[in-house]
Amino acid sequence: MGEGDKSSNNTQVRISNTDPRLIKKFKEFLIKICGVKEGKFKYYLMIFNDSDKEKAVRFWEDKLNIQRNQLGKIVIIPPQGKGTYKKKNQLGLLNIAVINKNLKEKILGMIDKI
């Protein structure tokens, strides 16, 4: 579904994906189940070098109902050769994160119980 960080050494709870629905559900889980406050979220965007940066930013702002100042550094992915993608994602990969070691341990414990 998404890429996250399962290492207990890292204090971030995060997931990255190109699908805003998955990002929104993860955020909803963190708010409703884990009690994370809205102001604790960090957002990061990665886009290909030939993407329209402003279009990608507007897309994520609209889909997640966030402001531009909530979006951290935007990483531009340089060309990687010819590649095998027939159609590259033009709207980017969004990473949503909360920095909280106790929350990370709580979620890893939840996963272990499944």
- pLDDT in the model for residue 48: 87
Count of all residues that appear for the chain in the document: 114
Contacts of 107 (CB under 8 A, 6+ apart): 13, 34
- Asked if residue 85 has pLDDT above 70, the reply is no
Q: Which residues contact 112 (CB under 8 A, 6 or more apart)?
A: none
pTM, full prediction: 0.82
Where exactly are the structural domains of the chain? Answer: 3-113
The rounded mean pLDDT for the chain is 87
Could you tell me which CATH number the domain at 3-113 has?
3.30.1330
Cα–Cα separations (whole angstroms), residue 91 to 56, 83, 110: 4, 18, 32
